[in-house]
Each structure stands twice: as C-alpha cells, then as structure tokens.
C-alpha cells in the first residue's frame, strides 16, 4: 500500500467526470487500498479516486474510527434512494485544506455499489455517513461542496493559529 498525492482546489481534474470501472481486478483493489491509506494519513472520513488523480468511480469511506468497522471500499456507487428530510452540516474536503462551509444533505441515503471483490452491495447511511456518501459521490461527477454551500458560510480555519 502507498499514500498517494492529493489533488487540491484549483486542479482541473476535480471538475472532471469519473469513468465507470468495468472490471474489479487487482489493479482496482490496489487503488482502493491506497485510497484508504491516503484517507487515514490525512485524517479524512472519505475520499474519491479523482482526489488522487484517478478518474475512476471509486470511493472510500471511514466515519467510524473504531476497530469494529472496516472502511467502505465502493466501486461504481450510485444513490438509489434519499430522504426528503435534510440536515444542515458543516463540511470540509481533503482537497480544500482547512476550509469548511455549511451544506444541506439528505438525512438518509441508500447507495448501491460493487465491493472490492465485484459483489453487489447496498449501504444505508444516516447522518454523517449519509453526508459523507453524498459528498464523495458528488466528486465522481465533478461536483464540489463549495458548489452546494450556503452563501456566506465558507470559513478558513488557520491550522497555525489556536
């Protein structure tokens, strides 16, 4: 496994649409493993492949920070259902270091995807998991949280200042 270089705000690749993965093979599994490592190394809860410069529909998510859960590795994820109720949440992105803004996300979503072995899986997410799934799936279509934020809520938190 290896930590990959992140792509940041202003990089045109973040605006591109990622392509469907046709075969879930060792190459795809290696990217997913690297994505989990990169996400953890940067204290992120989610990552999409485009953020490490790969235009494939791959997403990793880990909102749990515990031993019981293994990180989600999703291939070609699609939202198949989302609740009408939304919640307002503060959101950031590993491609926008130290920037945060308020975004409205569905309270609950259902996502279908393939796992790292190419098996179909369904994930039901609520709260932070739902937020994270929406955020990462947006990346696959070149949509960023700053496109969805409520006007005037963007904040820059200087990491060098306590």
136 catalytic residue (yes or no): yes
Stretch that binds Zn ion, among 2-10, 67-75, 86-94, 124-132 (CB under 5 A): 86-94
As separate numbers, helices (DSSP H) first and strands (DSSP E) second, the chain gives 3, 8
Give the interface size with Zn ion as a residue count (CB under 5 A).
1
Tokens standing for 26? 């060792």
Kindly identify the residues of this chain, within the stretch 120-139, that bind Zn ion according to CB under 5 A. none
> Which of the 8 DSSP states describes residue 155?
E
Smallest separation, CB 29 to Zn ion (Å):
22
Smallest separation, CB 118 to Zn ion (Å):
25
Smallest separation, CB 38 to Zn ion (Å):
12
Tell me: does residue 93 bind Zn ion (CB under 5 A): yes
Q: Which is nearer to Zn ion, 93 or 130 (CB)?
A: 93
Stretch that binds Zn ion, among 8-16, 53-61, 66-74, 92-100 (CB under 5 A): 92-100
Reported in sequence order, the residue ranges of 4-134 that DSSP labels E, i.e. its strands, are 46-48, 58-61, 72-82, 86-93, 96-106, 108-114, 120-126
Q: Are 92 and 153 in contact (CB under 8 A)?
A: no
Give 68-72 contacts, CB < 8 A, sequence gap 24+.
71/36, 71/39, 71/40, 72/123
Residue with tokens 């791959």: 58
Active-site residue, selected from the candidate residues 91, 120, 136, 150: 136
Which residues are tagged catalytic? 136
Contact residues for Zn ion, defined by CB under 5 A: 93
């Amino acid at each position: 496994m290896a930590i990959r270089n992140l792509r940041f705000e202003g990089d045109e690749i973040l605006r591109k649409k990622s392509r469907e993965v046709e075969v879930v093979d060792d190459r795809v599994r290696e990217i997913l493993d690297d994505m989990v490592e990169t996400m953890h190394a940067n204290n992120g809860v989610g990552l999409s492949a485009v953020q490490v410069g790969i235009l494939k529909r791959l997403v990793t998510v880990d909102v749990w920070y515990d031993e019981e859960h293994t990180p989600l590795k999703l291939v070609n994820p699609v939202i198949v259902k989302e609740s009408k109720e939304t919640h307002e949440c503060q959101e950031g992105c590993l491609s926008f270091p130290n920037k945060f803004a308020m975004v409205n996300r569905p309270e609950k979503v259902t996502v279908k995807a393939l796992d790292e072995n190419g098996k179909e899986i369904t994930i039901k997410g609520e709260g932070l998991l739902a937020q994270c799934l929406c955020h990462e799936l947006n990346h696959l279509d070149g949509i960023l949280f700053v496109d969805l934020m409520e006007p005037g809520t963007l904040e820059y938190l200087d990491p060098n200042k306590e």
